[in-house]
Amino acid sequence: RKEVEQDPGPFNVPEGATVAFNCTYSNSASQSFFWYRQDCRKEPKLLMSVYSSGNEDGRFTAQLNRASQYISLLIRDSKLSDSATYLCVVNTETGRRALTFGSGTRLQVQP
């Protein structure tokens, strides 16, 4: 089982749609969770951290469910500029101080 698993997509949605991505992680002791955005042939950029109580940043909402070991990202009112790959990122290993990245979910927003 992969440490961090995501549905690779692609998710093809029209502008204005609401889309949700889920991600599961294997280590129940994981402490830190993030969503990164990666545009084609570019470096990943931090979209948002994910907090236990859930958090929102404009059109983006992140949720953490520790009991089920998954995190989610909800994008409301999708824009063409949201088209990218969204990476689920987790600090998975106690003692190994480095992040583990999922393979990413590709989103294509269509006009």
Partner 1 sequence: DGGITQSPKYLFRKEGQNVTLSCEQNLNHDAMYWYRQDPGQGLRLIYYSQIVNDFQKGDIAEGYSVSREKKESFPLTVTSAQKNPTAFYLCASSMKGPNYGYTFGSGTRLTVV
What residues line the site for partner 1 (CB under 8 A)?
4, 8, 31-32, 34, 41-46, 49, 87, 91, 96-104
| Cβ 51 to partner 1 shortest distance, Å | 12
| Cβ 91 to partner 1 shortest distance, Å | 5
d(C-alpha 76, C-alpha 98), whole Å = 31
d(C-alpha 23, C-alpha 101), whole Å = 11
| Cβ 41 to partner 1 shortest distance, Å | 8
d(C-alpha 63, C-alpha 70), whole Å = 8
